[in-house]
Structure 1
Amino acid sequence: MIRPFDMELFLVGVLTGSHATRQRHLRQAKTIQAAISDRWYRDNPWTWQHKHLTWFLNQQTAGSHYYYLLTSRLIVRRLRKKWVLNTTPPDRKNYRINDLNGHNKKTLTQTTK
């Protein structure tokens, strides 16, 4: 019988912060693991590539993207890789920050193609 990969044991060396933060990272890491396993049949983070985490982050909404990005960075740190993950939420990619009327007020405006 094959035992499932233990994500808690995998991340124990890089998890810091309060108990609630560690539990959130573990819960999100298991969600990432399940999604990648369903899509590419790779349940072990040691077999993941950069594209797998990038794909998962691109599936997230702006509200959850940042927190999954933090968890993904912990996974990358544990893997000892030098991957740079996308820091822009998927629904904000077509926007840029503009300086309006010479003021320092920054707003989001949609870019034209």
Structure 2
Amino acid sequence: MSKPFDMELFLAGVLTGSHSTRQRHLQQARIIQAEIAERWQRETPWAWQRKHVVWFLEHRMRQHGDATRYYYLLTIRLLALRLKKAWVFNL
């Protein structure tokens, strides 16, 4: 039995800001992870490709407001920074 992926440990090096900001990013990162895992069976960010994140932004965030999409985009930028990927997204 393997241990579940620890998103907090994964993002620890790139999370900055107040406690509430860090908690928001962690919560959003866990939601992103769960959605991608459910749809694409990619359990960890190391297995993600850009298309998985684009799918999340375009399909799962479609019904949300601009402010919510913006905050999720900030979290995705942190994930990309941690993965050392040069992903650029246009909303």
Could you tell me the TM-score, scaled by structure 1's length?
A: 0.74
Aligned to 2:71: 67
Alpha-carbon distance in structure 2 between the residues aligned to 1:37 and 1:67: 21
- State percent identity of aligned pairs: 62
Segments of 5+ residues of structure 2 without an aligned counterpart are: none
Q: Cα RMSD (Å) of the superposition?
A: 0.8
Alpha-carbon distance in structure 2 between the residues aligned to 1:20 and 1:43: 25
Give the number of the structure with larger relative contact order, counting CA–CA contacts within 8 Å between residues 6 or more apart.
Answer: 2
Between Structure 1 and Structure 2, how many residues are aligned? 87
Alpha-carbon distance in structure 1 between the residues aligned to 2:6 and 2:48: 15
Identify which of 70, 76, 82 aligns with 1:78. Answer: 82
Aligned to 1:19: 19
Alpha-carbon distance in structure 2 between the residues aligned to 1:36 and 1:16: 24
Aligned to 1:108: none
Q: Which runs of 4+ in 1 moved over 6 A?
A: none
1:32 corresponds to 2:36:
no
- The Cα offsets for residues 39-92 of structure 1, whole Å up to 9 and x where unpaired, read as 000011001000111111112123411010000000000000111122x2xxxx
Segments of 5+ residues of structure 1 without an aligned counterpart are: 89-113
1:47 corresponds to 2:47:
yes
- By percentage of residues, which structure has more helix? 2
Alpha-carbon distance in structure 2 between the residues aligned to 1:42 and 1:15: 23
Could you tell me the TM-score, scaled by structure 2's length?
A: 0.92
